[in-house]
Amino acid sequence: MSLAFTLAVRGLTLLGVLVLVLLLVVVVLGATGFSDRMLTAIVNEELRGIREGMARTIHDPDQLEAAVKARRQELVDFYGLNKPWYTRLPDMVKRVVTLDLGEARNLRSFKGSPKVASLIMERLPYTVLLLTTATLITTVIGLVVGVKLATQVGTFLDRGVSYLSAVSYALPAWWAGILLIVLLAFDLHLLPAGGLHSTPPPQGGLLRFLDLLYHAILPITTLVLVSLGAWIYTVRTMVLNTAQEFFVTVARAKGLPESRVMRRYILRVAAPPILTNVVLGLAASLGGAILTETVFNWPGMGRLYYEAIMTADESVIVALTFMFTLLYVAARFLLEVLYVVLDPRIRYT
């Protein structure tokens, strides 16, 4: 009962986030006249197809114009363009949610489609690949080093990491990325500066995949470097806090081996808050991905954001804002579920 209730409350909150963002987007679009322009673009696009179809059956130009004009009126009625923007809110929300936002102005998907939905769906996996890999690597290194550091509090290394964590708060990942590009790609010619594949891309599945990995090294390294300091420090502090609890002292007093105390007594208890930070970090890096992907010309949703800004493509920007929020909310909900699984205290209160 209480377990379902906790999850439901968190789920509702996150749903609230999604609804609020949607409302914000739709109201801002409507009030500034952006939605009118987007819908007009969709109407014009449909009319172009209709005109071509009609031109085949109607040969008199005047008649054709009249027919097209009548069709335009129908479409304007259908999309509600002749009514004030707030009456269209529900329809607009539906469009955003289903990514039914017409065609991008200049941007094309890899296959050449201008549909906003296919553009975004195509880019999504690359963002997910980049972020999950980087988070995974950071987490593993952070856990290993952080736990180790917790046993060496006050040493030179320990102080160094605590300063590193302060620096990583102040260091923008995208600027660090630029530095790495200048240093590793252009001075030392070690790694490619950006992109997804070499030109020309190597043939064959495995080679192609390895080429992709080769190009992913630099962006992933950047993401790991800028978050690692803070992450190690978090793990260290959490392990340290738990290690001062009485039950740990008791376990040691019972003569249990230190490795067992660490795994079964300290880490098991420290796991939920550590996990919280992993998923929070993942969620936070979503926003950062916009900048990192831009720097490395990594064709994920973040780079698409940059391209959409550069070409002033409002439908793509709206769709991406929604997608980023959706991903964020999904990551947060995953966290809540995992938290409940990992922390028995939540289940039994």
Site string for other proteins, 6-35 (x = CB under 8 A): -------xx-xx--xx--xx--xx--x-x-
- The H helix count followed by the E strand count for the chain is 14, 0
Q: Does 187 engage in binding with other proteins (CB under 8 A)? A: yes
Residue 57, classified by CB atoms within 10 Å of its CB into exposed (0-12), middle (13-18) or buried (19+), is exposed
Backbone angles phi, psi at 298, to 5 degrees: -90, 115
Closest approach of other proteins to the CB of residue 273, in Å: 16
Q: Does 160 engage in binding with other proteins (CB under 8 A)? A: no
The binder of other proteins chosen from 321, 342, 343, 346 (CB under 8 A): 321
Point out which span in 48-56, 196-204, 222-230, 284-292 binds other proteins (CB under 8 A): 284-292
Q: Does 195 engage in binding with other proteins (CB under 8 A)? A: no
Q: Which of 205, 136, 174, 115 is nearest to 297 (CA)?
A: 174
CB 180 within 8 A of CB 299: no
Q: Does 318 engage in binding with other proteins (CB under 8 A)? A: yes
What is the spatial distance between Cα 120 and Cα 107, in angstroms, rounded to a whole number? 11
The binder of other proteins chosen from 332, 335, 336, 339 (CB under 8 A): 332
Per-residue b or e along 63-99, where b marks 16 or more CB atoms closer than 10 Å to that residue's CB: eeeebbeebbeebeeebbbeeebeebbebbbebbeeb
The binder of other proteins chosen from 305, 315, 335, 339 (CB under 8 A): 305
Cα 129 to the chain's mean position, in Å? Answer: 10
What is the spatial distance between Cα 287 and Cα 305, in angstroms, rounded to a whole number? 11
Q: Does 127 engage in binding with other proteins (CB under 8 A)? A: no
What is the spatial distance between Cα 178 and Cα 56, in angstroms, rounded to a whole number? 55
By beta-carbon proximity to other proteins, the closer residue of 146 and 288 is 288
Q: Which of 17, 28, 107 is nearest to 318 (CA)?
A: 28
Q: Does 348 engage in binding with other proteins (CB under 8 A)? A: no
The binder of other proteins chosen from 329, 335, 336, 339 (CB under 8 A): 329
Cα 139 to the chain's mean position, in Å? Answer: 18
Q: Does 248 engage in binding with other proteins (CB under 8 A)? A: no
Site string for other proteins, 28-67 (x = CB under 8 A): xx--x-x---------------------------------
Q: Does 85 engage in binding with other proteins (CB under 8 A)? A: no
What is the spatial distance between Cα 280 and Cα 137, in angstroms, rounded to a whole number? 15
- Residues forming contacts to other proteins in the complex (CB under 8 A) are 13-14, 16-17, 20-21, 24-25, 28-29, 32, 34, 166-167, 169-172, 174-175, 178-179, 181-182, 186-187, 193, 283, 286-288, 290-291, 294-295, 305-306, 309-310, 314, 317-318, 320-321, 324-325, 328-329, 332
